[in-house]
Structure 1
């Protein structure tokens, strides 16, 4: 049995930020448990062309600036390298290939079990596994009979494999737009959404959107309830919108069903389709907390801005709109981690 002051579950951006700030909040020894064979979370598994919508100057974790031109928009591999280097510098013990299976409260301490029979104890635990490990695909009528290929954006890598095919991308967010835009030159592509795509200028009045968010304090404002009601909007400097137009990627209302060889659109017309890509987001799950007393009947965490409300000594970092607009981002997880750690230490 191994003991630590703090156990952080997950070595993605949220877990690494938490471990970096732990000593400032009185946690002398932190242990980070990561199921993958290296730190960095899901970034290495994202599609090849993924590009951040925030400049490097607004994409840093606590204590280490993102390298390169502060005004450039980092690509996926840059983020992967940044997180690996960040992990290497951390004053924390990171255990990779260590998948946590259960977290329970026993005798005033947290007991953490991992695959292979490994056991740990800690005064406090932070769940920082996020939701990117659980892709969400909506239940679509006819899905079982569809003879083409379906995949989630989590399994999409590059457009070459879809050359010459008829592809429908489902979703109206940033990932759906990026994927549809790069499929356009090689495949006959349609974007299927439940409502028209909303567009947010990336550089209003010559300044990056994140500059405005910072200087208006909207980036840190505790307006979670309002943000949940705001429709999805795509951040664009005009290039993605132009790419969709240039390559005849049209938008249509979401199809009503899948058929044996394609889709049936809302107006009743049927069309042969080779591939459907679901860029439909992810769902937050904490299977290792099932017996912790920290989840409600539907498996959602019982918390107030990241601090568990039904048990003591447990926190969450990396949840969308956990405290602010930026809670789930590279620029926001550090603020949330600091807040949660301060409350866990006081508790």
Structure 2
């Protein structure tokens, strides 16, 4: 079955919902196609102990403040899912859950969105699929021969799943530090945290509020031709959320250098030392989930899709939202996605009415 709409939004997580809010304010007809069976985006798949970097009032989508979570300064992932579910209902956003988009193609004046439930013909498309569905695993020496359990951040849930085991956590970013801390604070798990470079903790008084301001200031500097401030990366890599701080201050979160290779039963470091390992958790990041856009042939150098703001170069009817700073300052965050979503909706409205 083929259906028609002015705008098709691909992805019903925080970026897709923010897009829907602003498209409605522009008076446009739109649909949001989301692969997940339930609301909440990637937040419904995150590990049990995960909390936001910022208080609720600084973690909101446009139009509605996130309510505080009782007893928590930094809300947990389940609270975010409840907030996104309520947001979707409150604004009566037309989200088609359980609809996986497979391809977007050109067909004259329309973009054809091919999904597993049918076809949508749209005048414009906003891709807001994020990166959670595309975890990155490095080609580490010995990874194929390791006989223990290997999993990525996307598969981690709780320390109880590793009771009595020796676990290596790989990765020097926020996910690596938080999962290593989660395991280290459990007396039933023996954890080794390894990083490619020495971990850089941000000052304890910096949370998501400050990070958003720093990212925004950097984008403004770049847009006006001023010197690059370095943004968030100039401050550090790891936000010292309470569990990370607790593990660090207890001496449980000291990183070792990256191992040289995995063996059948563990990890070996330069110099010959060897540790027996039951499981490896790869906290090695993600790549943007953009395979559905491949038929448009918009990849630039090194496979990167070039944009002006959120608008794709080479296809003015396509906007990319929520993939990181290259589609708007802090656009992969709850508080940061509102502004680029507003700009994308305005540009699309202007394009369709001109």
- Same-fold call, TM cutoff 0.5: yes
Q: For residue 203 of structure 1, what is the aligned residue in structure 2? A: 205
Tell me by how many angstroms 1:88 deviates: 1.1
Kept after mapping to 1: 8 A contact 2:69/2:79: no
Q: For residue 259 of structure 1, what is the aligned residue in structure 2? A: 263
Cα distance between partner residues in 2 of 1:231 and 1:98: 40
Cα distance between partner residues in 2 of 1:216 and 1:112: 33
Tell me by how many angstroms 1:73 deviates: 0.8
Range with greater deviation from structure 2 (320-329 or 300-309): 320-329
Q: What does residue range 120-159 of structure 1 map to in structure 2 within 5 Å?
A: 120-159=120-159
Partner of 1:123, secondary structure, is: strand
Partner of 1:73, secondary structure, is: coil
Tell me by how many angstroms 1:39 deviates: 2.4
Aligned alpha-carbon RMSD (Å): 2.5
Q: What does residue range 178-257 of structure 1 map to in structure 2 within 5 Å?
A: 178-184=178-184, 185=186, 186-203=188-205, 210=209, 214=213, 218=217, 221=220, 223=222, 226-227=230-231, 230=234, 233-236=237-240, 239-246=243-250, 248-257=252-261
Cα distance between partner residues in 2 of 1:275 and 1:36: 28
Deviations 1:174-207 (A, max 9, x none): 1111111121122111110011111112425xxx
Cα distance between partner residues in 1 of 2:290 and 2:217: 29
1:167 aligns with 2:167: yes
Kept after mapping to 2: 8 A contact 1:286/1:299: no
Kept after mapping to 2: 8 A contact 1:172/1:232: no
Kept after mapping to 2: 8 A contact 1:293/1:310: no
Q: For residue 79 of structure 2, what is the aligned residue in structure 1? A: 78
Deviations 1:135-161 (A, max 9, x none): 111111111111111110110000011
Q: What does residue range 87-126 of structure 1 map to in structure 2 within 5 Å?
A: 87-116=88-117, 118-126=118-126
Deviations 1:207-264 (A, max 9, x none): x561585499638646597449648511115652331452634311001100011001
Tell me by how many angstroms 1:2 deviates: 1.1
Gap regions ≥5 residues in structure 2: none
Gap regions ≥5 residues in structure 1: none
Tell me by how many angstroms 1:323 deviates: 4.8
Tell me by how many angstroms 1:6 deviates: 0.9
Q: For residue 275 of structure 2, what is the aligned residue in structure 1? A: 271
Kept after mapping to 1: 8 A contact 2:219/2:329: yes
Cα distance between partner residues in 2 of 1:229 and 1:59: 20
Range with greater deviation from structure 2 (265-274 or 30-39): 265-274
1:51 aligns with 2:75: no
Tell me by how many angstroms 1:325 deviates: 4.1
Kept after mapping to 2: 8 A contact 1:48/1:158: yes
Range with greater deviation from structure 2 (4-13 or 67-76): 67-76
Cα distance between partner residues in 2 of 1:216 and 1:191: 28
Distance 1:223 1:234, change over 3 A: farther
Tell me by how many angstroms 1:276 deviates: 0.8
Partner of 1:110, secondary structure, is: strand
Q: For residue 335 of structure 1, what is the aligned residue in structure 2? A: 339
Partner of 1:167, secondary structure, is: strand
Cα distance between partner residues in 2 of 1:193 and 1:149: 19
Cα distance between partner residues in 2 of 1:320 and 1:40: 19
**TM-score of the aligned structures, taking structure 1 as reference length:** 0.91
Q: For residue 15 of structure 1, what is the aligned residue in structure 2? A: 16
**TM-score of the aligned structures, taking structure 2 as reference length:** 0.89
